[in-house]
Structure 1
Amino acid sequence: MTSTTGRAVRFDRYGGRDVLYVTDIDIPSPSEGEVLVEVRAAGINPGEAAIRTGALHERFPATFPCGEGSDLAGVVAAVGPGVTQFSVGDEVMGFSLRRSSHATHTVVPARQLIRKPPQLSWEVAGSLYVAGVTAYAAVRAVSPQSGETVGVSAAAGGVGSLVVQLLVRRRARVLGIASERNADWLQSHGVTPVAYGDALADRLRKMAPHGIDAFIDLFGPEYVQLAVDLGVPPERINTIIAFQKAAEVGAKTEGSAEASTAEVLAEMADLVATGAIDVDIAAAYPLERVADAFAQLEQRHTHGKIVLLPQSS
């Protein structure tokens, strides 16, 4: 007999990791144009932590009880009326815009799914959406040209590790700001590592005596200000996190919202499947340990993606 219940992450109020819990849910049925996915892997992201704390209430308000999760990969369990491009049993990857992927099952519009390339593990496929399309949008926003110098903060994180690889593919010279322990990884991917901390501006000026042409911030407002201080034109600064600071200086704020299409996701998935770019998995947790997964994420020093595996709970 097929089960009619699943499990999902919820929170009933804004707060720390302690507000997260996993509860039983009725497995939803897909409506017109929708697909029910049995989720095998779902990445976690800093934005989800910010939504849960209420830090993004003005931009992304929560309605309680609230689910969470955008990234997903899994197996099609049912299709709604009008869906012809997928069948039960297909392996897919994609995204939810309803904060619903941190669950054993979720329903998403078919247009938000693509077929999972067989070369991708569940963990990689299930964590590519947010980081992948955000990196794509951030790089596109600063229009890097061959031979230009581009600075990147948080260059070895989930988004940063993709940003720097996309920039290298554009033949830019990339100055990747990260902790010293990530220097070897950055160098192996064609990036010039720059340790963050005191006198960072001086180190960047020494490494780029003719100036920095563009800057992508993935960490916070201090790096947007740093880029301005280094003489980067505001229209060639993009941040995915420091919205207020960007407004103050005239920088861009392009991220996942500007590139959330199946076409962009498919392009990123193809780059990973063919080995053109790497996606590293830092850790994987069962759904029941969602708070532990966010504890690791919120240290903000993780290289690669952290993933929930709902079917392993």
Structure 2
Amino acid sequence: MSPVRLLIVLVAAISAIGLAVVLQRALGGKSAAPAAMAAPAPSPGKPMTQVLVAKRDLPIGTRLVAADVTWQAWPSDAINGAFITNGAAPPKPDGKVDAAKAAVAATADQMIGGDPAKVVEGAIVRDPILTGEPITPRKIVRGGEGGYLSVVLTPGKRAMAVQVTSDTAVGGFILPGDRVDVLMTHDVQASGSSDGAAAASRAVVAETVLQNIRVLALDQSTAAEKDAKSIVAATATLEVGPVEAEALARAKAAGAVSLALRAYTDLGGPSGMTSPVAANDTTVRINRGGTTTSVAVRP
């Protein structure tokens, strides 16, 4: 090998060694090859907890079975205390697990055993639950705690049935969940005089007994079938208070009862008894400042 070629080889070798030293220092004392293979581990995702959710839309009155629910991963930091979980206690913000919650979760795990059927089998839905919505005790009533009507009744209310026909129930367009007024129609005797001779005649009087009353069921149907627009029924079950129940019983005994459908927007309006108006009273409407008031005037 000539001296010139030998010199070129030595310069190349020294340059390679120098480049390796520079790279080693730049990479923190590690060789380039191992650093390229040991990629940083991905940061772990959010802690997740299995939450019991609805597998399909569950309307009021549904008696639950295991096929209606499923487990779904839920961010542990977003777990509500009312959710039904698989027993895993969600961590606190500092990453630690609260001992008390862990104990409760362990007890729940023993009760549930990871089987959704053991949680909800036989329970009745009291408020609608949408697909994917967590199951909470507030929205269901466990089996044996009451039948359908006693479950969906508002606390303090009563359920009473009235006979209806297509004529007295808006042609069948009243459906469970609607709001109605209850009207009573009956005959009264009107007395008058003509040339000193007493004459008796009959008059028909209609009066609103109850207003804005919730319809619980029609016959045994607690909900209209899908896409159904009407139900022709023989009885309508209404939700009333104790005083309204007495008024409804008197109305049923005194004459024919009809239902008048209320607008959906009346949901939050006054509900219950209406002010009684005597048969010989005249109703005068007074408009004052844009507000209309009805006043009964007796001659």
TM-score w.r.t. the length of structure 1 is 0.23
More strand by share: 2
Structure with the largest fraction of helix: 1
Q: TM-score, normalised by structure 2?
A: 0.23
Q: Which structure has more RCO (C-alpha within 8 Å, separation ≥ 6)?
A: 1
Q: Highest Rg: 1 or 2?
A: 2
